[in-house]
Amino acid sequence: MTITPSSGSGPHPPIKARRVKFTFPSGARHQHFVDDDLVMSHFVAVLSSVFPEGEDFFIRSVRNYSDQITDPQLQKAVKGFIGQESTHKTQHRMLNERLQAMGYPTERIDRHVNRLLHRMERIFSTEMALAGTAALEHYTATFAEIVLNSDELLSLLDGSKVRDILLWHAFEEAEHKAVAFDVYVAIGGSERSRVRAMRLATTLFVAEMIAQTTLSLLGDRATYNPVRLVRSLNKFRKSPLFSRDALRRYASYTRPGFHPNDWDSTATLEHWSQELLDASGSPMYAEAPGG
């Protein structure tokens, strides 16, 4: 499968929250749960660490304007977006508890992100917070669709207990990737502020991911094996997440007139709906009724 540019905003795919239940890793301290790879395991752990507070920020930012949305389709999409992000938050908190027990500093990162985002909300307007949410959703959706379309990244997750939650999360990020953006447009957000928010979000996100992944690695004695560290860093640098095509897609957000659906995810969603959902549209790993 490939991710290709398209044109026009198009309709939102059906977006609904799904009740899910996953098996999480429970290995020894600093077990490298992503294909026994040092750097990628810490990167994924840090990414998971920022999700609960990040998703909460996204929900607040969109909910601030939910009463101003008059389009019925977008109203439904907002409701689905909030439901999905709430479930992501809950599931990643459970994953992060396991990762903390394995030696990854998820609790510290969670507290740090909480303080950082609330500080940002005091500094910036609610409209800028929404613009920032739309920008960060572009990153999460791009990460998601690269993972879902990359044989290399999918093979890294084979046999890992984080595979199901990451693929499910990626699928839903691709589903709702345009919602925050369309809310921002609907309330009259400007192109200038949209682009400014992306530049601020990029600086913050990249700096935080580098800093927090480095700190996480420094707490792992395997990092001090220079051969292993260099090999893992070199492999990480060559990941599809940082390829030339990926960088071009991240940067496309600042293009005049950009819309998230300029990158067509129809084929990706159709393929993974067959892989992850049953005939009724429920996840293959759905939570049992009453669970």
User: Which residue has tokens 């999905």?
Assistant: 84
Which residues in 12-45 are b (16+ Cβ under 10 Å) and which e? bbebebbebebebbeeeebebbbeebbbbbbbbb
Domain-embedded: residue 17? no
C-alpha–C-alpha distance, residues 6 and 264, integer Å = 5
∠ CA(281), CA(54), CA(245), 5° rounding? 75
Domain-embedded: residue 244? yes
pLDDT digits (tens, 9 = 90+) for 22-43: 888 877 776 899 999 999 999 9
Tokens of 27: 């290995």
Asked if residue 6 has pLDDT above 70, the reply is no
Asked if residue 259 has pLDDT above 90, the reply is yes
Asked if residue 1 has pLDDT above 70, the reply is no
- Parent domain of 197: 38-276
Domain-embedded: residue 142? yes
Domain count along the chain:
1
Looking at residues 252-268, what average pLDDT do you find?
96
Residues whose CB falls within 8 Å of the CB of residue 133, separated by 6 or more in sequence, listed in order: 57, 58, 61, 62, 180
If 0-12 CB within 10 Å is exposed, 13-18 middle and 19+ buried, where does residue 273 land?
A: middle
| pLDDT, position 13 | 62
Closest CA to 118 of 60, 195, 51, 203: 60
Question: Strand runs (DSSP E) across the chain, as ranges?
Answer: 4-5, 263-264
Domain-embedded: residue 32? no
| pLDDT, position 285 | 64
Domain-embedded: residue 10? no
Domain-embedded: residue 146? yes
Looking at residues 213-240, what average pLDDT do you find?
97
Q: What is the DSSP string of 76-122?
A: HHHHHHHHHHHHHHHHHHHHHHHHHHTT--HHHHHHHHHHHHHHHHH
| pLDDT, position 5 | 42
Q: What is the pTM of this model?
A: 0.91
pLDDT digits (tens, 9 = 90+) for 137-195: 999 999 999 999 999 999 999 888 899 999 999 999 999 999 999 999 999 999 999 99
Domain-embedded: residue 202? yes
Query: CA separation (Å) from 204 to 113, 135, 138, 208?
Result: 11, 12, 14, 6
Domain-embedded: residue 25? no
| pLDDT, position 291 | 47
* Range from 95-109, 164-178, 268-282 carrying the lowest mean pLDDT: 268-282
